[in-house]
Amino acid sequence: MVADTGRFFRAGPAARDRIAREACTPEDILFLKEEGHVPHPCSRLERRSRQFAEAERLSWANRLDYLILVPTLRCNLSCSYCQVSRASLTSTGHDWSEATLAAVLDRIDGLETKSIKVEFQGGEPTLRLDLINAVIERCRRFERSEFVVCTNLQRLDEDVLALFSRDDVYVSTSLDGAAATHLRNRTASSTATEQFLGNLRLLIDRFGIGKVSALPTVDPRSPPEPDELIDAYAGLGFNSIFLRPINFQGFARKRHPDSREQNGEWRRYYERFVRRLIERNWVDRSVVFEETYLSVCLRRVFQPGSERHVDLRSPNPVGVDYVVIDHDGTVYPTDEARMLARSGIIDLSIGTVETGWDTPARQTLDRHSTNAMDPACRQCAYQPYCGRDVIDDIARYGTIDLPRTETEFCRKHMHLFDLIFELVYSDDPAVRHSVSRWLRLPGTPTELGVTLP
Amino acid sequence: MIPLALQSISEAEQPFVTRLRVATGTADAADSILVAEDIDGATFAGRNGLVSISGSPAAALDGDVVLVSSGVGRVERLLRAGGLEIPTNTLLVTERCDQLCLMCSQPPKKTHHDRFALLTEAALLAEPGSLIGITGGEPTLYKAQLLDMIETVLAARSDVEFHVLTNGQHFEDADVARLAGALYDRVTWGVPLYARQAALHDRIVGKKGAFDRLQDGLAVLLSAGCRVELRTVLLSSNFTALGELARYVTTRLRFVEAWSIMQLENVGYARKRWQELYLDHSADFGPIAAALDHAHLHGVEAQLFNFPLCTVPAPYRHLARPSISDWKRKFVPECSPCAARERCCGFFEWHPDDEARSGVRPL
């Protein structure tokens, strides 16, 4: 049973029966009171803290402080599932113009926050180091700034290294598993694969593992053995693996037509992967592997506000705290929206960097960007933990007007939260060990979830 | 131990606040400049005339903001300068209190000498980036003066923050608007709560109805969006009730910035009742570990104050803060080979040596 605050308990069969018959015992009432489910009407603190706990479950985005920038669409690779519909290396008209750069810098000057995060996407953004450096230079006035360069690491010359050696610059790349898998999906030649792996190792050796994050993209029709993928990451020193199936967007839609929804097979694979992480964490306690998104969801269950994960939140306003600025200056609410437009499926742009994005398009998308009023979500125990993603619905179904329970977003998260609660109430010490580490706890509690017998 | 009060002779007829300076380079009107120093002490001159201070070399007083009594008396080093990354000092605003805690480290007195004007003057002279602690007695017995002082200082000094220790008994809903003001973003309220059970909490603080009143006070702080650090001193009487308190914190007090579980200070009443009150956590860390895990599980930042690192099991050590101020901190000879001293709180100067020495396991 889950309250609006997200505080939950497991009711045993007898307790379920008592609650259904409205025949709670004094012990039941005391339990519910202590757990904060029955605020005392005369206690100001209990009433207000209950409201506070409910409010904690709502995301609040107010000021723009996160920019996803696409300085160029050109790329030196051609991955089978490229999500951004890349342009060839030598093509023209796929980079920011002088005017677009000037408008981006103007926007940065206008930000009202003390901190900023900028993510450079592509294409391959390091093809335009000059644009990256111009943006970074303009961000000097912020108290805190963080730059993430999403790169395929095929080219790592002196200029690129100089950029990566900055303390406020982080590198994000793709690593699909063992070298053969990575070659099949991305690099197409063993020379290019070796080049990539060599560059990745060089970065880790020189700057430490904290500098780099890597994400795999997995073909759900032939996923690698969990151990193959885990070993590929472990070998480089990575502990966090974001297990993502091919996304139904961009070129991926044409080449992988059956990737619109994941089926039971993917879910079983995902679960097998998580169980394998748990086993490995238990056998060798010196390392803690995690599936990144499972940890995000797990922390959302217990620790509201600890994550700023813009893909899973409610309300999930568009064009408020983060935007994507494309190679031609078009502004999109998310990277997925950019891909949809690029694939010619639907134009979800909300404005341009020159003219702004407080537009009717943005307001229309925003009108339904919450799970609070959705009839299916209101009946769902996981509502306080879950989010809303109108872009994902449009991407998959061309409409948001369908029962949430019939969407991939809902099925995916239903499965994740089911799995999470199964793990939370597991008696297996190996499971509790991993779950406690994923929740960043100092110790391993004997009880992660309470039970009313 | 670093002395906080020194003997002095002053020309002034009234107590005054000044900042002591050895060199004249950066002097402003509030400064007193060193004019002479010998083995008996140092003499400083400023707008309130001469003051001679004995018991410390002048160099060690450089930059201190002091309160000088008139005639033959003492100087109180209100804000000591130098040393710390964040200059941290504590101002005592009253010795009166409406609670009488079993373990009070600074037993209250009946009378109150109002020094708010002088303390405000001192706080305005604080080093750049200072964190100023306010303590008592119970500071909010003089809530109007206290809030005036805080606002005056914070309005003039955008680099200063306050940490106020208060029993939370005197906040009213009428205070919400004021406490929600922007200046209070730089104020943290340290509020003690010893048990989830009203009777136990009331017995520990020596006041009937204190728990219920505290709930209302916390509701005011919550409504005003105040920054609150919850404090629980560990005692043999509340040790086994820690689990219920942890659950209370994660359900009712989720808004606190931190929950500090504090080991007892062997001074004041606690010194007299040491055997009755002190709980040796190294003998059984279980309930503390469970409370820390429960709090962190639900996203409440629980931490340990006054727990020497080597007395805490390794997984929880990163939660033990170097919480004891330099002027009253000591290490025992057994600590000398320890590699973790820099991060360790050490012991209170007045902690029994034999107890301290037998518990130390150098890291």
Helices (H), ranges, chain B: 58-61, 116-124, 143-156, 176-179, 198-205, 210-223, 242-252, 269-272, 274-277, 286-297, 353-359
Q: Inter-chain contact B254–A53, Cβ cutoff 8 Å?
A: yes
% pLDDT > 90, chain B: 79
CB A354, CB A341: distance < 8 Å: no
Q: Which residue has the tokens 């997200």?
A: A6
- Domain check: are B11 and B154 in the same one? no
Instruction: Report the distance separating Cα B289 and Cα A350, nearest Å.
Output: 50
- Domain check: are B152 and B247 in the same one? yes
Q: Please report the pLDDT score of residue A182 as a whole number.
A: 80
Check pLDDT > 80 for residue A82: no
- Domain check: are B184 and B62 in the same one? no
pLDDT band, very low/low/confident/very high, at A83 (cuts 50, 70, 90): low
Sheet holding A115-120, edge to edge: A212-215, A169-174, A144-150, A115-120, A66-69, A322-325, A330-332, A351-352
State mean pLDDT over A411-421.
Answer: 97
Lowest mean per-residue pLDDT among A1-15, A217-231, B261-275: A217-231
Q: Inter-chain contact B251–A49, Cβ cutoff 8 Å?
A: yes
- Domain check: are B115 and B205 in the same one? yes
Q: Could you tell me which of A378, A387, A441 has the C-alpha nearest to residue A61?
A: A387
pLDDT band, very low/low/confident/very high, at A77 (cuts 50, 70, 90): confident
Q: Please report the pLDDT score of residue A307 as a whole number.
A: 77
State mean pLDDT over B164-171.
Answer: 98
Q: Please report the pLDDT score of residue A254 as a whole number.
A: 59
Check pLDDT > 80 for residue A248: no
Minimum distance, in Å, between the CA of residue B212 and any CA atom of chain A: 9
Comparing alpha-carbon positions, the chain B residue that sits nearest to A49 is B252
HSE on the CB side for A309, CA within 13 Å? 21
Q: Inter-chain contact A443–B316, Cβ cutoff 8 Å?
A: yes
Describe chain B by its helix, strand, coil percentages, rounded to 5.
Answer: 35, 25, 40
pLDDT band, very low/low/confident/very high, at A79 (cuts 50, 70, 90): confident
Q: Which residue has the tokens 């609670």?
A: B99
Minimum distance, in Å, between the CA of residue B62 and any CA atom of chain A: 32
Q: How many domains does chain B have?
A: 2
Q: Inter-chain contact B289–A443, Cβ cutoff 8 Å?
A: yes
Of B305, B330, B358, the domain-final residue: B305
**Phi, psi torsion values for B192, nearest 5 degrees:** -85, 140
Q: Inter-chain contact A53–B294, Cβ cutoff 8 Å?
A: no
SS3 label, residue A190: helix
State mean pLDDT over B198-216.
Answer: 97
CB interface of A with B, residues 345-384, below 8 Å: none
Check pLDDT > 90 for residue A183: no
Minimum distance, in Å, between the CA of residue B216 and any CA atom of chain A: 6
- Asked whether residue B344 is assigned to any structural domain, the reply reads no
Output the average pLDDT for chain A.
Answer: 91
pLDDT band, very low/low/confident/very high, at B72 (cuts 50, 70, 90): confident
- Asked whether residue B312 is assigned to any structural domain, the reply reads no
- Domain check: are B36 and B119 in the same one? no
Q: Inter-chain contact B255–A34, Cβ cutoff 8 Å?
A: no
**Phi, psi torsion values for A169, nearest 5 degrees:** -110, 130
pLDDT band, very low/low/confident/very high, at A247 (cuts 50, 70, 90): low
Instruction: Report the distance separating Cα A126 and Cα A132, nearest Å.
Output: 8
Minimum distance, in Å, between the CA of residue A70 and any CA atom of chain B: 36
pLDDT band, very low/low/confident/very high, at A362 (cuts 50, 70, 90): very high
- Domain check: are B54 and B151 in the same one? no
- Domain check: are B91 and B157 in the same one? yes
B5: which residues sit within 8 A by CB, 6+ positions away?
B74, B75, B76, B77
% pLDDT > 70, chain B: 99
Cis peptide before A315 (omega within 30 of 0): yes
CB interface of A with B, residues 158-187, below 8 Å: none
A191: which residues sit within 8 A by CB, 6+ positions away?
none
Reported residue count of chain B is 363
Choose between B176 and A368: higher pLDDT. Answer: B176
Q: Inter-chain contact B318–A442, Cβ cutoff 8 Å?
A: yes
Comparing alpha-carbon positions, the chain B residue that sits nearest to A298 is B297
- Domain check: are B162 and B272 in the same one? yes
CB interface of A with B, residues 52-81, below 8 Å: 52-53, 56
Instruction: Report the distance separating Cα B242 and Cα B229, nearest Å.
Output: 17
Tokens representing A11? Answer: 């009711």
Q: Which residue has the tokens 């990277």?
A: A335
* Tens digits of residue pLDDT in A285-344: 999 999 999 999 999 999 998 877 788 999 999 999 999 999 999 999 999 899 888 878
Q: Which residues of A touch B218 (CB under 8 A)?
A: 45
Q: What is the gyration radius of the CA atoms in chain A, in angstroms?
A: 23
pLDDT band, very low/low/confident/very high, at B175 (cuts 50, 70, 90): very high
Q: Could you tell me which of A384, A387, A313 has the C-alpha nearest to residue A61?
A: A313
Q: Please report the pLDDT score of residue B83 as a whole number.
A: 66
- Asked whether residue B327 is assigned to any structural domain, the reply reads no
State mean pLDDT over B26-40.
Answer: 86
Output the average pLDDT for chain B.
Answer: 93
* Tens digits of residue pLDDT in B92-119: 999 999 999 999 999 999 999 999 999 9
Q: Please report the pLDDT score of residue A311 as a whole number.
A: 82
State mean pLDDT over B179-186.
Answer: 98
* Tens digits of residue pLDDT in A100-113: 999 999 999 999 99
Q: Which residues of B touch A53 (CB under 8 A)?
A: 251, 254
Torsion of CA A268, A271, A273, A275, to 10 degrees: -130
Query: In whole angstroms, how far apart are CA A110 and each of A351, A358, A431, B53, B327?
Result: 17, 15, 48, 55, 47
Q: Please report the pLDDT score of residue A377 as a whole number.
A: 95
Q: Inter-chain contact B292–A443, Cβ cutoff 8 Å?
A: yes
Domains of chain A, each with CATH number or no CATH: 16-56 (no CATH), 66-360 (3.20.20.70)
Of B251, B289, B296, nearest to A35 by CB-CB distance is: B251
Testing the interface with B: which of A30, A44, A51 to mutate, by most B Cβ within 10 A? A44
Minimum distance, in Å, between the CA of residue B296 and any CA atom of chain A: 6
Say if A272 is an interface residue toward chain B (CB within 8 Å): no
pLDDT band, very low/low/confident/very high, at A30 (cuts 50, 70, 90): very high
Of B305, B329, B349, the domain-final residue: B305
Q: Please report the pLDDT score of residue B357 as a whole number.
A: 87
Query: In whole angstroms, how far apart are CA B215 and each of A182, A192, B138?
Result: 59, 65, 17
* Tens digits of residue pLDDT in B290-339: 999 999 999 999 999 999 999 999 999 999 999 888 888 999 999 999 99
B131: which residues sit within 8 A by CB, 6+ positions away?
B86, B87, B88, B160, B161, B162, B163
Of A49, A52, A442, nearest to B296 by CB-CB distance is: A442
Of B258, B277, B305, the domain-final residue: B305
Say if A444 is an interface residue toward chain B (CB within 8 Å): yes
CB atoms within 10 A of CB A290: 20
Q: Inter-chain contact A34–B294, Cβ cutoff 8 Å?
A: no
Instruction: Report the distance separating Cα A282 and Cα A444, nearest Å.
Output: 12
Instruction: Report the distance separating Cα A368 and Cα A384, nearest Å.
Output: 17
Q: Please report the pLDDT score of residue A256 as a whole number.
A: 59
- Domain check: are B33 and B170 in the same one? no
Query: In whole angstroms, how far apart are CA A294 and each of A240, A437, B23, B163, B203?
Result: 10, 12, 61, 38, 45
Q: Inter-chain contact B299–A305, Cβ cutoff 8 Å?
A: yes
Angle formed at CA A393 by CA A388 and CA A394, multiple of 5 degrees: 130
Tokens representing A158? Answer: 């002196």
- Asked whether residue B340 is assigned to any structural domain, the reply reads no
- Domain check: are B6 and B90 in the same one? no
- Domain check: are B67 and B48 in the same one? yes
Task: Report which residue type is found at A279.
Answer: E
- Asked whether residue B218 is assigned to any structural domain, the reply reads yes
Testing the interface with A: which of B226, B248, B254, B304 to mutate, by most A Cβ within 10 A? B254
A354: which residues sit within 8 A by CB, 6+ positions away?
A99, A100, A103, A329
* Tens digits of residue pLDDT in B335-361: 999 999 989 999 999 898 888 888 899
Angle formed at CA A234 by CA A228 and CA A237, multiple of 5 degrees: 155
pLDDT band, very low/low/confident/very high, at A438 (cuts 50, 70, 90): very high
Instruction: Report the distance separating Cα A8 and Cα A302, nearest Å.
Output: 9
Comparing alpha-carbon positions, the chain A residue that sits nearest to B315 is A442
- Asked whether residue B260 is assigned to any structural domain, the reply reads yes
Q: Could you tell me which of A31, A26, A28, A3 has the C-alpha nearest to residue A15?
A: A28
- Asked whether residue B354 is assigned to any structural domain, the reply reads no
Burial of B300 (0-12, 13-18, 19+ CB in 10 A): buried
Of B215, B219, B315, nearest to A442 by CB-CB distance is: B315
pLDDT band, very low/low/confident/very high, at A81 (cuts 50, 70, 90): low
Residue A231 is inside which H or E element, if any? helix A226-236
pLDDT band, very low/low/confident/very high, at B1 (cuts 50, 70, 90): confident
CB B135, CB B192: distance < 8 Å: no
A407: which residues sit within 8 A by CB, 6+ positions away?
A392, A393, A396, A397
Q: Could you tell me which of A429, A424, A430, A413 has the C-alpha nearest to residue A276?
A: A430
Q: Inter-chain contact B251–A53, Cβ cutoff 8 Å?
A: yes
State mean pLDDT over A349-361.
Answer: 95
Q: Please report the pLDDT score of residue A148 as a whole number.
A: 97
Instruction: Report the distance separating Cα A238 and Cα B180, nearest Å.
Output: 44
Residue B233 is inside which H or E element, if any? strand B227-233
Instruction: Report the distance separating Cα B276 and Cα A294, nearest Å.
Output: 48
- Domain check: are B72 and B147 in the same one? no
Check pLDDT > 90 for residue B229: yes
Instruction: Report the distance separating Cα A18 and Cα B83, nearest Å.
Output: 63
Cis peptide before A210 (omega within 30 of 0): no
Q: Please report the pLDDT score of residue A191 as a whole number.
A: 87
Say if A304 is an interface residue toward chain B (CB within 8 Å): yes
Tokens representing B282? Answer: 């190294």
Comparing alpha-carbon positions, the chain A residue that sits nearest to B253 is A49
Q: Please report the pLDDT score of residue A72 as a whole number.
A: 95
* Tens digits of residue pLDDT in A141-154: 999 999 999 999 99
User: Which CATH number is B272's domain given?
Assistant: 3.20.20.70
Q: Which residues of B touch A441 (CB under 8 A)?
A: 293, 296-297
- Asked whether residue B141 is assigned to any structural domain, the reply reads yes
Domain that holds residue B10: 1-76
* Tens digits of residue pLDDT in A249-295: 545 555 555 656 677 889 999 999 999 999 999 999 999 999 999 99
